[in-house]
Amino acid sequence: MLLLAVFAMLLVIVAMVVDGVSGWNKAKLRGEARTSYGLSRSFSKFLVYQGILLITTCIDMLVHVGLILFVDWNYCVPVVTILGGIVFCAVEIWSVYEKADAKAQKRIKQVTVTGVKAAIDQQALAAAITAGISEALKTDREQMPTKRKKKNEEK
């Protein structure tokens, strides 16, 4: 049972390494700085993931001992640890594919906002606001009840 738990932990480590190498290469291709901050986050993630897997292994061992003592049934597969490992591996795989898309979308938004800001100058914006206000006032006058229209026309 412990061997399977260690195997699950090693698979999660492999998935984390793949994610780290992938992120490093993507940052390199984009020309972004690769700093110790990213490595620090990866190390923190490693500690969290492995800590959780150790806790799930303890849960599996307690279940194993409880079943042997009280039910006389041999529980030899660390189900909780394996499920935790599957979840963490799925998160890492998702991370490998997600980062490139998210960063690309962020760049597209930045370019779009910069382009829109450059396209709109202050005079065009003032003209558009003035036209919008005058159109709104014109529409408002047309929708007034007839008694109000007559009073406003008499003035």
Express each pLDDT in 60-116 by its tens digit.
Answer: 888 888 887 777 777 677 888 888 888 888 888 887 776 555 666 666 666 666 656
- Pair (10, 73) in one structural domain: yes
* Domain hosting residue 124, numbered range: 120-155
> CA-to-CA distance for 85 and 123, rounded, in angstroms?
59
Residue 150, amino acid: K
73/133 same-domain check: no
Q: Which residue has the higher pLDDT, 130 or 155?
A: 130
Please, are residues 43 and 18 in contact by the beta-carbon 8 Å criterion? no
Looking at the structure, do residues 133 and 101 belong to the same domain, yes or no? Answer: no
Residues sharing a CB contact under 8 Å with residue 28, sequence separation 6 or more, in sequence order = 34
Q: Judge if 81 and 127 occupy the same domain.
A: no
Q: Are residues 42 and 97 in the same domain?
A: yes
Domain boundary among 111, 132, 147: 111
When pLDDT is cut at 50, 70 and 90, the band that residue 19 belongs to is confident
Residues 145 and 106 in one domain: no
Asked if residue 131 and residue 106 are part of one domain, the reply reads no
Mean pLDDT, the chain, whole residue set: 76
How far apart are the C-alpha atoms of 57 and 2, rounded to whole Å?
Answer: 8
Question: Are 29 and 98 found together in one domain?
Answer: yes
- Tell me, yes or no, whether 72 and 143 share the same domain: no
In terms of pLDDT, which residue wins out, 28 or 10?
10
- How confident is the model at residue 149, as a pLDDT? 53
Return d(Cα 7, Cα 81) in angstroms, integer: 10
* Res 26 pLDDT > 70: yes
Give the pLDDT score at 77: 79
Q: Which pTM was predicted?
A: 0.55
Task: Give 82 or 148, the one with higher predicted confidence.
Answer: 82
Whether residue 131 sits in one domain with residue 59: no
Alpha helices, H only, 31-71: 36-70
Q: How many structural domains compose the chain?
A: 2
| Chain centre to alpha carbon of residue 143 | 48
136 in the same domain as 105? no
Sign, Cα dihedral of 63, 66, 71, 75: positive
